[in-house]
Amino acid sequence: MSSFRKNALLSLGLLGFASFLCAQTSPDYGEIHGNVGIDAQYYLDDPAINTQPVPDIFRANSFLNLVYTRGNFRAGLRYEAYMPKPLLGFPVAFEGHGIPFRYAGYTLGRLDITAGNFYEQFGNGLILRSYEERALGFDNALDGVRLKYQPVDGLRLIGFIARQRFYWQFSPGNIKGFDAELTLREFLPKVDWKKWNLIVGGSFVSRYQSGQEIPNPDNPANLLEIPLNVGGFSGRMNLGYGGFQLNAEYAYKINDPNALNKFIYKPGTAAYVSAAYSTKGLGISLQAKRVENFDFRSDRNAQGNDLLLNFIPMLNKQHTYALPASIYPYAVQANSELGWQADVNFTTPKWLNKKYATTVNLNFSMVSALDTTPTGDRYGYTSSAFDFGKRYYMDANIEVQQPLGKKTKLSLMYMYLWQNQRLVQGQGTTEDNLIAAHIAVVDATWKVAKKHTLRFEVQHLATPALQNPLNSLVNGSWAMGLVEYNFNPLFFASVMNQWSYGNPDEKKQIHYPTAMVGVTLKTTRIAIGYGRQREGIICIGGVCRQVPASNGLTFSLMSSF
Amino acid sequence: MRIMYLSFLFLLSTLFTSLLVAQKQYALPTADVQDLKGQTVSTSTFTNGGKPMVVSFWATWCKPCIAELSAIHEEYETWAEETGVKLVAISIDDQRNVAKVAPFVNGRGWNYEVYCDPNGNFKRAMSVNTVPHTFLVDGQGNIVWQHNAYNPGDEAHLFELIEKLSKGKSLESK
């Protein structure tokens, strides 16, 4: 049978399976639901923005998730197709189609078993987080067996043994993980806890990967001695009193010579602390983090976004406006980071601003490298506990939201951004490339009539043009405008333009216009767009992906059922 | 050509499947989320004593989500008085922002029951693609209506549905 026929049969089989299950209305047959998505693009040549010629000018990324539940039993699968090739910017290793994610699970009183694929996060994710970020083509799902058990109230145990998804293959490393969490309020319900709340937890994650011959960089005639088992431990606590909340976690990893730390034997550490206070109308949070040599993967040779086992939370605001989010984004440096963040939210009290309260968010973050001294041997370096090394990134911003009446809402944002582009984006020069930019955003929503809404966005990024630009298309100041029309709840249309008017090279002062129209039918959203996509880095939830410049027609469909 | 055809087939079959099931109601699935104290809570404990419940997926970085929850906040007391409805807000912020959720919610004075779903357990169980995604759950714990995206004024339609539900009428009734 040709592979095409097989594929067609597979699709039809899936469809048949879904239809069969859906057609059953009696609760005895259980319930099925899921979601689907298709992102497709037709690529056009556009030399002005450095598009690369692509052999397959029409490409689509698609998926279908099905989740079946019946009583305590559950099962699910995800079909993915990247055909004929993945969209530009997604890892090429995704090419193809199949079912990379499938599982079955059962809950039996206090015990829960999952066989097959699953996602998991221990504590803050410092030593384990497996998750999916579809928009980035990121999926480090685990595949194996997981047990969750609650022997007594308040005590939760999780254990698993698995391998990680690596596109259409598996990680070379075998992963074992164990986590225990004790919620004292539930464990000792007779104690009068008043306003106190305490949760403590600990986890252990180990990777077993068979040995390999890696020459010692200091002495290429000899081979490095490589640990086959690499273990990571972590302890955490979450303490609350009324409106106060303190969350701390410390993690340690034994020596793990790997491609990203240049095969040194130094152990890794990570510490994360957050303190927050909030009451009606006011919320404050402070966070600090120190990460040293803590890139943890299920393959010691993996790089980029491949086979990550842990998650180092970023300590800067997650921007969503285009210029603040995407011109100079920050990416986590898991091998050396020391940083902190402060965030304040408040709403003006009624006596000050009777009719329409003002909401304000203030945020400051700064992240530096550790202050290190090379040891000159395979141990790598020593570091000072609290001294800052070279600064990576700084962001100070204020965002104000003010309704101007029943029909108009205004949001204003100002941000000062500072970045050492060479260190953050790892671009290939030896000289630091320091960026300082002022960004302003005005965002206004106007409800023109019942069901008709207009939204306007104007953004400006001001920065001096550099003499030796690393990424010439991003050099200098930018302006952006957007107009969006919504006919509730059915239809939307938007036009947008980004313009690099401050580029010192006149040929590189480029407009990036895009237009998009779409419909939303309950939980189905279909959109068609046309325009230029800027070359750059998009980041979602702490993971970034390099996107090449492109020009063309896009189609997207998302639906859940 | 084959591949184009296959893509087309995939599109067609998924559309067909989704249309087929789109109207069906199903019980609120079970998953573990965290309350604002960091305590693990099973969604099987979500209840509003036989009254309607709104389950709204949002994130601190999602502007339309904040617009939706702010708009409902203005009218929430009236809604609750008239229909007994409760809103459960599920933040899909990951660990980067989890510590900021409580200050964010309190800083805005929201009175919702808020939970965090930092690794997407509940989001996946509910087949949520993007936020905002709002579900309406009847007194028996069945999802009877859902909607993706938010535009100013959408909350009025949601309230009409809540009213119908609280009066025991069908959602399609006039």
How far B167 CA sits from the closest chain A CA (Å)?
23
At position A516, the amino acid (one-letter code) is M
- In this complex, is the C-beta atom of A282 within 8 Å of any C-beta atom belonging to chain B? yes
Mean pLDDT on A253-259? 95
Given the structure tokens 């829960």, which residue do they identify? A112
At position A309, the amino acid (one-letter code) is L
- In this complex, is the C-beta atom of A358 within 8 Å of any C-beta atom belonging to chain B? no
* Category of A121 on φ-ψ map: left (φ > 0), alpha (ψ -120 to 50) or beta: beta
At position A504, the amino acid (one-letter code) is P
| Cβ-based neighbours of B111, under 8 Å, separated by 6 or more | B73, B76, B77
Give strand pairing partners of A285: A276, A343
How far A67 CA sits from the closest chain B CA (Å)?
7
- In Å, how far are A141, A335, B61, B93 from A267, measured between CA atoms? 26, 11, 35, 30
The vertex-A274 CA angle with A241 and A179, nearest 5°, equals 90
H-helix or E-strand containing A351? Answer: none
Contact A221, A250 (CB under 8 A): no
Q: How sure is the predictor about A57, in pLDDT bands with cuts at 50, 70 and 90?
A: very high
Q: Do B62 and A320 touch (CB under 8 A)?
A: yes
Task: Give the highest mean pLDDT range of A5-14, A348-357, A376-385.
Answer: A376-385
Mean pLDDT on A3-8? 49
Q: 10 Å Cβ neighbour count for A377?
A: 10
Beta-sheet pairing, A543-547 with A536-540: antiparallel
H-helix or E-strand containing A183? Answer: strand A174-183
User: Which B residues, 147 through 166, put their C-beta within 8 Å of a C-beta on chain A?
Assistant: 147-149, 151-154, 157
What integer best gives the mean pLDDT of chain B?
Answer: 88
The structural domains of chain B, ordered by start, are 24-166 (3.40.30.10)
Predicted local distance difference test score (pLDDT) of residue A448: 94
Instruction: Tell me the C-alpha distance between A60 and A84, whole Å.
Output: 7
Q: How sure is the predictor about A474, in pLDDT bands with cuts at 50, 70 and 90?
A: confident
- Show residues of chain B in contact with A18, CB under 8 Å: 17, 20-21
Contact B27, B141 (CB under 8 A): yes
The residue of B43, B76, B119, B123 whose CB has the most chain A CBs within 10 angstroms, and thus the best one to mutate to test that interface, is B119
Beta-sheet pairing, B86-91 with B113-116: parallel
Predicted local distance difference test score (pLDDT) of residue A218: 84
Instruction: Tell me the C-alpha distance between A306 and A138, whole Å.
Output: 8
Predicted local distance difference test score (pLDDT) of residue A380: 93
- In this complex, is the C-beta atom of B15 within 8 Å of any C-beta atom belonging to chain A? yes
pLDDT surpasses 80 at A193: yes
Predicted local distance difference test score (pLDDT) of residue A25: 46
Given the structure tokens 């305490």, which residue do they identify? A198
Predicted local distance difference test score (pLDDT) of residue A489: 80
pLDDT digits (tens, 9 = 90+) for B67-124: 999 999 999 999 999 999 999 999 999 999 999 999 999 999 999 999 999 999 999 9
Give strand pairing partners of A75: A68, A104
pLDDT surpasses 50 at B23: no
Beta-sheet pairing, A111-118 with A120-121: unpaired
Q: Is A322 helix (H, G, I), strand (E, B) or coil?
A: helix
pLDDT surpasses 80 at B129: yes
The half-sphere exposure of A424 on its side-chain side, counting CA atoms within 13 A, is 25
- In this complex, is the C-beta atom of B94 within 8 Å of any C-beta atom belonging to chain A? yes
pTM: 0.92
Predicted local distance difference test score (pLDDT) of residue A98: 96
Mean pLDDT on A329-350? 93
> How many residues comprise chain A?
561
Q: What is the DSSP letter of A534?
A: -
- In this complex, is the C-beta atom of B42 within 8 Å of any C-beta atom belonging to chain A? no
Instruction: Tell me the C-alpha distance between A156 and A120, whole Å.
Output: 14
Contact B97, A545 (CB under 8 A): no
The phi, psi pair for B78, rounded to 5°, reads -60, -45
Instruction: Tell me the C-alpha distance between B74 and B72, whole Å.
Output: 5
Beta-sheet pairing, A155-166 with A174-183: antiparallel
Name the residue with higher pLDDT: A522 or A42.
A42
pLDDT digits (tens, 9 = 90+) for A410-464: 999 999 999 998 888 765 567 788 899 999 999 999 999 988 999 999 999 999 9
Q: How sure is the predictor about A4, in pLDDT bands with cuts at 50, 70 and 90?
A: very low
Q: 10 Å Cβ neighbour count for A68?
A: 19
Q: How sure is the predictor about A481, in pLDDT bands with cuts at 50, 70 and 90?
A: very high
Instruction: Tell me the C-alpha distance between B73 and A490, whole Å.
Output: 24
The residue of A459, A488, A494, A519 whose CB has the most chain B CBs within 10 angstroms, and thus the best one to mutate to test that interface, is A488
- Show residues of chain A in contact with B108, CB under 8 Å: 345, 347, 359
Q: Do A247 and B107 touch (CB under 8 A)?
A: no
Predicted local distance difference test score (pLDDT) of residue A16: 52
The residue of A33, A326, A406 whose CB has the most chain B CBs within 10 angstroms, and thus the best one to mutate to test that interface, is A33
| Cβ-based neighbours of A283, under 8 Å, separated by 6 or more | A276, A277, A344, A345, A346, B100, B102, B103, B104, B105, B106, B107
Predicted local distance difference test score (pLDDT) of residue B2: 55
Q: What is the dihedral of CA A305, A287, A367, A302, to 10 degrees?
A: -20
- Show residues of chain A in contact with B127, CB under 8 Å: 33-35, 65, 67, 560-561
Which chain B residue lies closest to A19 (C-alpha atoms)? B17
Q: Do A559 and B128 touch (CB under 8 A)?
A: no
Using alpha carbons, select from B70, B72, B134, B155 the residue that is nearest to residue A409.
B70
pLDDT digits (tens, 9 = 90+) for B155-174: 999 999 999 999 988 888 87
Q: How many CB pairs under 8 A join A and B?
A: 249
pLDDT surpasses 80 at A335: yes
Contact B146, B132 (CB under 8 A): no
- In this complex, is the C-beta atom of A197 within 8 Å of any C-beta atom belonging to chain B? yes
Predicted local distance difference test score (pLDDT) of residue A27: 52
Name the residue with higher pLDDT: B81 or A9.
B81
Which of A238, A283, A311 has the CB atom closest to B106's CB atom? A283
Given the structure tokens 């990576």, which residue do they identify? A392
- In this complex, is the C-beta atom of B108 within 8 Å of any C-beta atom belonging to chain A? yes
Mean pLDDT on A140-169? 97
User: Which B residues, 115 through 154, put their C-beta within 8 Å of a C-beta on chain A?
Assistant: 118-121, 124-130, 133, 146-149, 151-154
- Show residues of chain B in contact with A283, CB under 8 Å: 100, 102-107
How far B15 CA sits from the closest chain A CA (Å)?
8
The phi, psi pair for A90, rounded to 5°, reads -85, 150
| Cβ-based neighbours of B4, under 8 Å, separated by 6 or more | A58, A84
Q: Do A558 and B18 touch (CB under 8 A)?
A: no
Contact A60, A88 (CB under 8 A): no
Task: Give the highest mean pLDDT range of A353-357, A537-541, B28-32.
Answer: B28-32
Predicted local distance difference test score (pLDDT) of residue A429: 63
Among A9-23, A498-512, B72-86, which is the least confidently predicted range? A9-23
pLDDT digits (tens, 9 = 90+) for A107-139: 999 999 999 999 999 999 999 999 999 888 899
Which of A4, A15, A443 has the CB atom closest to B16's CB atom? A15
| Cβ-based neighbours of A472, under 8 Å, separated by 6 or more | A503, A505, A508
Instruction: Tell me the C-alpha distance between A263 and A255, whole Å.
Output: 9
- Show residues of chain A in contact with B24, CB under 8 Å: 22, 31, 33, 561
Mean pLDDT on A354-369? 93
How far A515 CA sits from the closest chain B CA (Å)?
19
How far B84 CA sits from the closest chain A CA (Å)?
22
Domain boundaries, chain A: 114-313
The residue of A35, A142, A274, A448 whose CB has the most chain B CBs within 10 angstroms, and thus the best one to mutate to test that interface, is A35
Please give the distance of CA B146 from its chain centroid, rounded to a whole number.
Answer: 7
- In this complex, is the C-beta atom of A522 within 8 Å of any C-beta atom belonging to chain B? yes
How far A239 CA sits from the closest chain B CA (Å)?
8
Contact A387, A380 (CB under 8 A): no
Mean pLDDT on A180-199? 95
Q: Is the peptide bond before B132 cis (omega within 30 degrees of 0)?
A: yes
pLDDT surpasses 90 at A104: yes
Predicted local distance difference test score (pLDDT) of residue A471: 59
What integer best gives the mean pLDDT of chain A?
Answer: 90
